[in-house]
Amino acid sequence: MTQVLPLVVYTVMLSSCGNKQPEQQQSKSLVRVSTQEVQQINRIQSLSYTGSIEPDNTSRIGFAVAGVINQVVAKEGQFVRQGQLLASIDATEYENALIIAKAGLEQAEDMYQRLNDLYQKGSLPAKDFIDIKTKVAQAQANKNINTKHIADSKLYAPISGIITEKLVEKGSMAAPGVPAFSIIKTDKVYAKITVPEAEIGNFKQGMVASIHIPTLGESLKGTVAIINPQADAISKTYIVKIQLNNTQNRILPGMNTTVDIQPNRVVPALTIPANAVVRDADDITYVYVMNGDKKVQRKRVTVGSLIGTKEVIVKEGLNLNERIVVEGQSKLHDGSEVQL
């Protein structure tokens, strides 16, 4: 008996330790976390869009008459004032034609004066008097046409702006309707955005918008100037343009922008703590959601702006009252078991 009893006690102790070991291992495998429910608040609606800068006006100009270009005084990237000379063509042919036209007009006017006296005395048939009046009118029109040809031999800037294209060189041939320069007017510019059908009702002309231009590192105020009433047939989106003053010409067409608009409307929004959001190597944001049996599920989310310094707006991915992990999520993966 003295030999059997210690053996029985040892066997019982060994059996007891064997039962506790899995429980201890299971306890060690659980990750301790803290959780919180998704909250809902009422906030002023804020809409954000990405867009790009467009010039106030774009003008492609060319000569109205044909000829050989003898002078080009403007270049690409140059700022020009309205009425500034850009280029000219050799107008010798038009100048000679004007001399001939002036001589013909003088001759016709002289004949008119002499025949008019006869007509007033009744010595000239009405038909002959009408013929000379017609010749005077034709000679005057011919003079005006050649005068205009000489004026059109010089090309002036129709607007103040920046030359973006110079398509002619000295010695090249100019032709009517062929562009010689392209000028953009940039004292005022537009931030162009596309707005979904569900949100276009929030926009009205004259609304104030905040435009951030990352290239310049500046945020400016603009006003909604144009709301295109025709939706795109495929995307069902509308074009909206916000006007910006650009008197210093620092804002250039093509720059990317972020446009924020508050339509003065209170809407519900879901919020979660900012530290609950995890971002992976692919720049995808997600959170861990409790699924009811002490396991977590990884859910992708889209978040918006910060509220204060600790909460963020949830745009997509979560529902009200879902419970998410707010502490310990760095040790989790999809399907992990947790301990509260």
**125 and 100 within one domain:** yes
> Within a domain: residue 1?
no
> Within a domain: residue 25?
no
Q: How far apart are CA 180 and CA 166, in angstroms?
A: 6
**199 and 52 within one domain:** yes
Encode 134-173: b = buried (16+ Cβ within 10 Å), e = exposed: ebbeebeebbeebeebbebbebebebebbbeebebeeeee
**193 and 52 within one domain:** yes
**237 and 136 within one domain:** no
| CATH number of domain containing 130 | 1.10.287.470
Average pLDDT in the 94-107 region?
A: 94
- Going by pLDDT thresholds of 50, 70 and 90, the confidence category of residue 6 is very low
Q: How far apart are CA 189 and CA 33, in angstroms?
A: 52
| CATH number of domain containing 67 | 2.40.50.100
- Domain extent, residue 128, equals 92-152
pLDDT digits over 178-206, tens only? 999 999 999 999 999 999 998 898 899 99
pLDDT digits over 127-152, tens only? 888 899 999 999 999 999 999 999 99
**160 and 68 within one domain:** yes
**195 and 167 within one domain:** no
> Within a domain: residue 13?
no
**163 and 117 within one domain:** no
**245 and 106 within one domain:** no
Average pLDDT in the 271-277 region?
A: 90
Total of domains in the chain: 4
**300 and 317 within one domain:** yes
Q: Please, what is the average pLDDT of the chain?
A: 87
Token pair of 79 as six digits: 């700022």
> Within a domain: residue 272?
yes
Residue located via tokens 């017609």: 134
Percent of the chain that is helix, strand, coil (3-state, to 5): 25, 40, 30
Last residue of a domain, one of 248, 265, 282: 265
> Within a domain: residue 275?
yes
**223 and 254 within one domain:** yes
> Within a domain: residue 9?
no
Report the SS3 class of residue 83: coil
**282 and 261 within one domain:** no
> Within a domain: residue 21?
no
Whether the pLDDT of residue 292 is over 90: the answer is no
The predicted pLDDT at position 43 comes to 81
**198 and 285 within one domain:** no
Last residue of a domain, one of 142, 174, 206: 174
The predicted pLDDT at position 127 comes to 87
pLDDT digits over 225-270, tens only? 999 999 999 999 999 999 999 988 889 999 999 999 988 777 888 9
pTM of the model: 0.63
> Within a domain: residue 147?
yes
Q: What are phi and psi of 228, to 5 degrees?
A: -70, 120
